[in-house]
Each structure stands twice: as C-alpha cells, then as structure tokens.
Amino acid sequence: MSKLIQSPALSSVTDHSPTSATFTVEPLHPGYGMTLGNSLRRVLLSSIAGAAVTGFRINGISHEFTTVKGVKEDVVQIMLNLKGIRFRVFSDEPQTLTLTKKGKGVVKAKDLELNADVEVVNPNQVICTIDDDKANVNMELTVETGRGYQALDETGSGRTISDMIMLDALYTPVMRVRYKVENTRVGTRTDLDRLLLTVDTDGSITPRDAFEEAAAILVNQYTALAGQTRVETMPTPKSEAGEEGIISDGDEPAELMTSIEDLNLSARTTNALINNDIHTIKDLLSLSEAELRDLKGFGNKALDEVKEKMAELEL
C-alpha cells in the first residue's frame, strides 16, 4: 500500500438553487473528510467577506428606545429590520445611503437611494410601515464591509454624528453550512472518504465563490505555518474526460450512472460486481483490468463478459 496521502478533487457541484449548492470532494485520505469538513464549515461561517448596516439615523430620533411619529414599528424593531437587509458592495469604503418616504405604506429596502457601489440583494425586505398619510420618514444608513461578526462597541468607535444609532454587524453572507462524510473507493481501496458539503448563502455571493474563498483562506493559513516543508502526495484523480478539476452534474454522461443490473450480464457476473461494491458503469470504469481480476469471485470468464459489454456500449 502506498504511504502517500491521497490528494482530493472537487468531483461535482450540485446546484439546488442560486443560493444553495452541495460540493462533493473525493477521494480523501481516511479521516480527512471530517477534518476538511469541519475546517471549511468554520471558515465559511466566520470569515467570508460581506456587507451590513453598521449605523443609521432618523430625523428627530436620538436613541433607539423611542418611537417614530406616524410609524407602526418602534426603533428597536426598525433596527432588527435593517439587519435583515443584505448588500453587495463593490468598495472598501463605508457607504452612506438615504431613504425618504412620505405617506401611508410599507417602506422596503428597494426604497433606498443607492449609489454605483452598492446593490441590495433582497429589495423586498421590510424596513418599517408608515400608518399616517401625513407622516414621512427620512433615514440615513451607513453600510460597511467586513468579515464575521463585529460587536456594537467596535462599530461605534468611528461615529462622527451624535444622533447616529450604531448596530452590531453580522457581515458573513453564508447563512448555513452542513456536511457529511461517506465511504468511497479508488481501485481496490475502500477506506477512503467522500465529503459532501452543502452551503447556503444570502444571495450576495454564490455558494461556489464562498466555497473557493474559504478554501483559499485555509491554504494561506497552513502555508504560513508549513515554512519550506513540503509533503509529497498522490496525484489528484482525473475526471472521466481526463482533466483534473470540477465535474458538474450537468456535464457527467448519463450512461455512466447506469446500474450494473441493467447491463444484462449473467447473474454470476452481476452478483460478483455488486458484492465488490460496484453498482454503476462509472464504478466499473474506475478499475483497471488487473484490479478487476483481483476482485473476489470475479474470474476470467466474467472479465471477458464485461469487456464484451463495454465494447458493445462503445465504452
């Protein structure tokens, strides 16, 4: 058995929606599924760059423990609503946004007056409700970029306006991360790991970009600690097309996922393959002729039968 550590590949990405995707990483050295899964999850939830409201002011309001004339919600509820607005910001500088609304109606994030450096991801997020035809709301927001969570005392350190109400900021655009580890095989090795990591974002960043940023952060952290030491690893597995890298679900030929039981092989050959954990054509093609010969209960006659079937299918 090789003493080299198996190098993984991002074998597939399953998009559930524009804000949710599952990443399949395999094959991994035994135990590394949990190691990488936990590391990536913690970085995704704490260290991906995002934007949030860090402060706001409303004309005539000097603190949060009060109400706004003609507005249904009190200032504390407005604060919570402002935290729910998700932004995409294209500048490292703090951005100032304004909002002016007159007359009865619901005030939403889409009513904000934006500039060229700011986009609102969820324009239907409710800010407040004006319930008086004669009332009006004049509001100014400060939007900043950052990573992770920033406490209230930190966001308020740069306050320049006395009636600016500061907010604690949750910058991270990743809302949820789940992972699980399964067994996978390469050739005759069956003790390798497969990591399935599901990432849900707020829409300001794609799950793929968040995943790649988290991986890059970990690479930078570990490279800084490794110094000049380098460890030889096994080559990264190649895709069915013969190229290293991502295989999206839409790019994988459907016939590769055909069940062994649907190939009309003899019962003895079919059972031998299934008993050796070979369930699809993809599993079958991952093995060399020599590895097939070494399978338990799989003889030369079964090998000839499989080769004839693969030739018939032009595989």
Is CATH 3.30.1360.10 the right assignment for the domain spanning 17-44+174-236? Answer: yes
The predicted structure's pLDDT at residue 156: 52
The full set of domain ranges for the chain reads 17-44+174-236, 49-170, 254-312
Structure-block tokens of residue 96: 């100032």
Question: pLDDT digit string (tens) for 225-279?
Answer: 888 887 777 666 554 434 444 444 444 555 667 777 777 788 888 888 887 778 8
**Residue 206 burial (C-beta neighbours within 10 Å; 0-12, 13-18, 19+):** middle
Residue type, 27: P
The SS3 of residue 290 is helix
The number of beta carbons lying within 10 Å of the beta carbon of residue 143 is: 25
* CATH number assigned to the domain with residue range 254-312, chosen from the 4 options 1.20.58.1610, 3.90.1010.20, 1.10.150.20, 3.20.80.10: 1.10.150.20
Residue type, 300: N
Beta-carbon contacts of 254 under 8 Å, excluding residues fewer than 6 positions away, are: none
Question: pLDDT digit string (tens) for 11-39?
Answer: 899 999 999 999 999 888 889 999 999 99
Asked, colleague to colleague, whether 49-170 and 254-312 share their fold, the answer is: no
The predicted structure's pLDDT at residue 240: 41
At residue 44's C-alpha, the angle toward residues 249 and 123, to 5°, is 85
The predicted structure's pLDDT at residue 66: 86
> What CATH fold (topology level) applies to the domain 49-170?
RNA Polymerase Alpha Subunit; Chain A, domain 2 (2.170.120)
Q: Which parts of the chain register pLDDT below 50?
A: 1, 159, 239-251
The predicted structure's pLDDT at residue 239: 44
Residue type, 172: T
Question: Can you say how many angstroms the Cα of residue 258 is from the centroid of all Cα atoms in its chain?
Answer: 29
Q: Return d(Cα 73, Cα 93) in angstroms, integer.
A: 31
Beta-carbon contacts of 232 under 8 Å, excluding residues fewer than 6 positions away, are: 4
List the beta bridge partners of residue 113.
98
The predicted structure's pLDDT at residue 42: 95
pTM for the full model? 0.69
The predicted structure's pLDDT at residue 299: 77
